Amino acid sequence: MEVNSCLDIAPEVKEALDQGRPVVALESTIISHGMPYPQNVETALMVEDVIRKEGVLPATIAIIGGRLKAGLSKDEIEYVGKKGTAVTKASRRDIAYLVAKGMDGATTVTTTMMIAHMAGISFFATGGIGGVHRGAETTMDISADLRELASTPVCVVCAGAKAILDLRLTLEYLETHGVPVIGFRTDELPAFYSRHSGLSVDFRVDSEEEIADLFLARKALGLSGGMLVTNPIPEEYAMDGTGIDQAIEDALREAEEKNIHGKETTPFLLEKVRELTGGESLDANIQLVCNNARVAARSAKACAEKR
C-alpha cells in the first residue's frame, strides 16, 4: 500500500502490520479533552496494556508537529495528556490546517478512523462516539463521527453513545448512511454510562469471531463504510439509577445557558457530568474504555487468524 507522506507509523506498529499481526487503534481526544490530567494519561497507558495483554499491538493516534502519528510513545501520550485542551481537537476539517502549520492535534473518532485507515489498521476502540445532539433539528449539531462511519472501512468498538445525545436520531442517521450497529452480547443499544437505552441494535453478536466474520464479509462485498460495535459497560460500573440522567439534564441546561456550541459542546458536557457525579462518571468512563479495548483486540486477533 502506498503510504501517505504525512503519516508516521511507529516502527513496532509497522512491523506488526507488515507481518499481518493484529493492531488496534486508539483515539487521543479522549485523552486531551475527554478526561482530566493525570487520569487521562494513566487511562491511555492502561488501555494500551489491556490490548497488549491480548497479544495485540495498540496504536494510539494523534497529530504531533503536523505529522499524522499511528502509534505514540509513552512520552508522546504524556505530552498530549498534559497539554490537554490546549491541543486542537482535530476533526476532518482541521487536519490539513494542522499539517500545513506543523501543529498538534488530538484525533477524534473521525480523524482516528481516517488515520487508522491510511495506516492499514481496521479495528479501533474508544469510549463513546459522537452522534446527533439533542435539539439537532434546530442546531444541526451532528458529529462528523457519523459521516466518517458512513465512509471509512474501520470497525469501531464503543459503549454506545451518551445520553447527552439524541440516541434515536443517531440510529436513524446511521441507518440512512448504511452503517450497521452491532450489539455485543446485547439486543439493546447501550448508552455509555448505562447499559440501557430502550432502543434496539441492528444485529446482535455473541463473540469476537462473529465481529471478525462480519468485518470480512463487508470487505468481501466491497462495502466502503465502517461498522459500529456497541459493547455495554460492565454491570458493576454501570450508572443506571444513580442520578446520571439528572446530571446529563443539568449539564445540557448549563451548556444552553452559556451558549456553548460547535466542537466545545461534547468536552463541556463530559466535564460537567463528571463534576455533577462527583467523579463517578470518570471511573465508569475508564472502565468502559478498557472493556471496549479488550473486545476490539480479540476481534482484531480473530480477523488476523482468518486472513
Residues labelled as active-site residues: 27, 162
String of DSSP letters for 217-229: HHHHHT--S-EEE
Measure the CA–CA gap between 142 and 229, rounded to whole angstroms. 20
Binding site partner of 105, from ligand PSU, Mn ion, none, Cβ cut-off 5-8 A by kind: none
Q: Which is nearer to ligand PSU, 54 or 141 (CB)?
A: 141
Binding site partner of 180, from Mn ion, ligand PSU, none, Cβ cut-off 5-8 A by kind: none
E strand or H helix that includes residue 273? helix 265-276
Contact 306, 56 (CB under 8 A): no
Residue 129 C-beta: closest distance to Mn ion, Å: 12
Binding site partner of 291, from ligand PSU, Mn ion, none, Cβ cut-off 5-8 A by kind: none
Q: Which is nearer to Mn ion, 54 or 141 (CB)?
A: 141
Report the residue closest to ligand PSU, judged by CB. 34
Binding site partner of 287, from ligand PSU, Mn ion, none, Cβ cut-off 5-8 A by kind: none
Q: Cell for 285?
A: 468512563
E strand or H helix that includes residue 98? helix 95-101
Report the residue closest to Mn ion, judged by CB. 141
Q: Which of 104, 169, 102, 171 is nearest to 141 (CA)?
A: 169
Residue 24: count of CB within 10 angstroms of its CB: 33
Q: Which is nearer to ligand PSU, 43 or 302 (CB)?
A: 43
Residue 101: count of CB within 10 angstroms of its CB: 11
Site for ligand PSU, rule CB under 6 A: 27, 29-30, 33-34, 108-110, 127-128, 130, 143-145, 162, 263, 266, 270
Positions that interact with Mn ion (CB under 5 A): 141
